[in-house]
Amino acid sequence: MRDHSAARLHPDSVAVAAGRPPREPDAPVNQPITPASTFHAGGPRGYARAGTDGSAAFEAALGALEGGSTVSFASGMAATAAVLAMLPASAALVIPTGFYNYHRTFFDNELALGRLGELRPVDITDSQAVIAALPGASLLWLEAPTNPSLLLPDLPRLAAAAREAGVLSVVDATVATPIGVRPLEHGLDIVMHSATKWIAGHSDVLMGVLSVTDAELHQRLMTQRNLTGATPGALESYLALRGLRTLPLRMQRCCQNAAVLAERLAEHPRVSAVTYLGSAEHPQAELVAKLMDHHGAVISFTLDSVAAADELCRRVELITHATSLGGVESLIERRGKYPGEQALGSPAELVRLSVGIEHAEDLWTDLSQALA
C-alpha cells in the first residue's frame, strides 16, 4: 500500500488516498472485500483472525490519519476490553467522573470481578486533580470531549504528566473524530474510537479501533485482539474504509448544521440549557479553540421536564429517535433516561442530538414543530 502520512498531506486528502491497493494495470482502485477465513500456507497471516487485506487497508488509512498505527476490533467495547486486558489485576485506573456510561459500567464490572484493583474517578477538566490521582495508577482513561457533557481534558498536559508518572494514557476521541483532534500528536499513548460512529458514518457497522505510535504496544494490541478473536468481519472492514473516505466532508456538513441548531436551540423558550463546543459560553472555549479543529456535531440540551424531553423525541419526524451518534442521519435521544447516565451526573431531562447531513433548515423545522 502507498504511504500517505498525515505529515505529508492534509487530513482531507489522507482520508481519500490512504489504504489503497498498489497502482498496477487493471488492479482495483478500491480494496476489495475479502470474504475468506482461511489462507494458503507460507504467508504471515494464515487465518482471518489475524486480519484480512480489507482490515489491513482500513487500519493503514486510519493510522495515516491519526499519525500512528491502528488495530481494528469487532466493536468499540472490544477495543476497550483489549486495553484493560493488558493490565494487571491490581491495576488502578484514573477515570472521568462523567463520561460514556457504558465504559463506566464495564470498568465497574471488571472491578467487581477482581480484574481491576481500583477506580479513581476525577474531574478531567481539573488537570491538577487528575495529576494528583496518577501516582501508583496503571492507566489514565480520558474522553475528548466527554459524552454527553461535552467537556474537554487538557490533552498535552495530562499526557505529559501520565508519561512522567509511568502511567499508560488512553483517550476515547469518538465524538471529536480524527478530523477534530489527533491525540497521538499531543503525546497520548492510545487513542480509541468507536468506528461505529462517524468513522464508518452510516449506522451500518459495529467496529472499534485503537491507534498508537509505539511499535511494541501496537504488537501487544494485535496479539490481544487475535487471542480473543475480536477481529472485525470482511464486510465491516470494507464499509468502515468506505465511510472513512468521506469523513472530512460529512463532518464539515454535520458541524455546520450543529452550529445553526445550537444557536437556535439556545434561544428557544422551551430549552433550559444548551451545551455545545462551539458556544462562546462554553466553560472551556479557550481549550476547545486550542485543541479542536472543529466544534463537533453533538448538542446536549435540557428541557423543563422529563415529559417534555420524551415528547420531543417522540414528535420528531425527520430526525431519528434512536440510540447512537455519528450517522449521516440526525439522531436524538433522552440520555438522562438511563440510570447509569444519571449516576454520572446527567440530568434526567438531558437530550443528546447527533446532527447529521440533512439540510439545516429542515432539521430546524422538525425540531420547532416537535418543541411546539
Q: Give catalytic residue positions.
A: 49, 100, 172, 197
Q: Which residue has the cell 491490581?
A: 90
> What are the cell numbers at 3?
504511504
User: Which residues 6+ apart lie within 8 Å of 206 measured at CB?
Assistant: 74, 75, 196, 236
d(CA 202, CA 199): 9
d(CA 281, CA 216): 43
Cα of first residue to Cα of last residue in the chain, in angstroms, is: 54
Strands annotated E in the chain? 69-73, 92-96, 118-122, 139-143, 168-172, 190-194, 208-212, 271-275, 298-303, 320-321, 331-334, 350-354
Q: What angle do CA 280, 282, 287 make, to 5 degrees?
A: 95
CA nearest neighbour of 58 among 167, 147, 178, 156: 178
DSSP structural state of residue 260: H
d(CA 202, CA 196): 8
Provide the edge-to-edge strand list for the sheet that holds 331-334: 271-275, 298-303, 350-354, 331-334, 320-321
CA nearest neighbour of 71 among 238, 241, 223, 248: 223
DSSP structural state of residue 47: B
- 8 Å CB contact between 360 and 256: yes
Torsion angle, alpha carbons of 110, 69, 8, 143, to 10: 0
Q: Which amino acid is at 317?
A: E
